[in-house]
Structure 1
């Protein structure tokens, strides 16, 4: 691990709580106009999320009674409706081939995007210690008079995330403050993702508020609107 990664892991509670846990649960409230724009307005609201800590598997229980389950090892995204009917999307990433930021999504596609993204957010920064993940400290980012140290994280093909290499930024205390990525499933739309609040649960520090913006060509965020918001409560490690 790099010196910066050591600092970040320690600032978020160390490795022991993650290694001793198998599941992280939370209630995640999703907001913003993105969901309606993508054709799934009923994705607004609070999901109960049950995520595996040591592999990419996550279940989202939605207020409508719908359940979404993503299992990366099996390569499946399954949507179960309130009536018990199932829809399974095999190799879900492939279904986005040729999509642009303006493309509409099916319920299963939106569920896949939400599932893999939420899983990664809940297990950060422990995710950076997964087998095959490569990290390197990069140039810092300066914003609003603050200087945040940068960490480039490259993920192996065994994980489904927004894109292969993402840039993470941390304040002096080691708290995560920003992520730069460009989701493959959304036509590679440049994104500046901000972690705006944190709290401690069961010995680990978790981001409890995220605000996601379009990233301008100069890498500044377009703050004229917030396409996606996430707010996290009730985190439990099991």
Structure 2
């Protein structure tokens, strides 16, 4: 899947990477863990994310790479700056997970369980707890998905393990149909309080997608 990507929010500047990926193209595989942002700002032609490696690439030349990139985040808090490779890892891992949800729930080793009901925006949503296996690289091994009565996702919750377990509430909306499948094109991520409510006075990340193509 390929899409044009525009994003902003407080996270990128906080990590010292403001502006790098404001406008780019993101491509993710749907049969394996792989994602790429092209261009990767002015730093590289593209990034190359896989389960155990992140690289920045120009043509066939690998400019830099990191194996077992998750381990490089040990001891990080929300305010810890990122290297270019850490930004590439987070962005690739995040967009692969977002664009493959909910289909990734059917993958081997991914477990889900009923989390009951949740009332928000005058709607009743079904909450599903999701547990990802060690064989998949996601920035939060335990997440939650909220599904509306129309069976479309409304929100995701997770604690970003590679940023000090920072809790987030991630809202999705503005669905379009591509290849016969409905995808949200608008994503807004806010801090999540202990009561589970989003703290909407702080926009952590905004993501807008357009031109979604399946191939």
> TM-score with structure 2 length normalisation?
0.94
Return the offset for 1:147: 0.9
Question: What's the CA shift string for 1:170-190, capped at 9, x where partnerless?
Answer: 110011001110011111001
Question: What's the CA shift string for 1:214-234, capped at 9, x where partnerless?
Answer: 001111111112110001111
- Please point out which of 64, 85, 100 is paired with 2:77: 100
Question: What's the CA shift string for 1:132-181, capped at 9, x where partnerless?
Answer: 11111111111132110011111111111121111100110011001110
Q: Does 1:191 align with 2:168?
A: yes
Q: Does 1:166 align with 2:114?
A: no
- Please point out which of 18, 42, 57 is paired with 1:64: 42
**Equivalences for 1:14-25 in 2 at 5 Å?**
24-25=1-2
Report the counterpart of residue 201 of structure 1 in structure 2: 178
**Equivalences for 1:16-165 in 2 at 5 Å?**
24-62=1-39, 63-64=41-42, 66=44, 67-72=46-51, 75-80=52-57, 86-165=63-142
Return the offset for 1:65: 6.2
SS in 1 for 2:27: strand
Greater helix share, 1 or 2? 1
CA contact under 8 A between 1:65 and 1:81: conserved in structure 2?
Answer: no
Structure 2 stretches of 5 or more lacking a match? none
Return the offset for 1:81: 5.6
**Structure with the greater relative contact order (CA < 8 A, sep ≥ 6): 1 or 2?**
1
SS in 2 for 1:182: strand
Return the offset for 1:43: 2.3
- Please point out which of 188, 204, 215 is paired with 1:227: 204
> TM-score with structure 1 length normalisation?
0.85
Instruction: Tell me the number of residue pairs that the alignment of Structure 1 and Structure 2 aligns.
Output: 213
Distance in 2 between the 1:51 and 1:85 partners? 19
Which of structure 1's runs of 4+ aligned residues deviate more than 3 A?
none
Distance in 1 between the 2:165 and 2:174 partners? 26
Question: What's the CA shift string for 1:8-64, capped at 9, x where partnerless?
Answer: xxxxxxxxxxxxxxxx11112111121011011132422212211111011110253
Report the counterpart of residue 217 of structure 1 in structure 2: 194
RMSD: 1.7
Structure 1 stretches of 5 or more lacking a match? 1-23
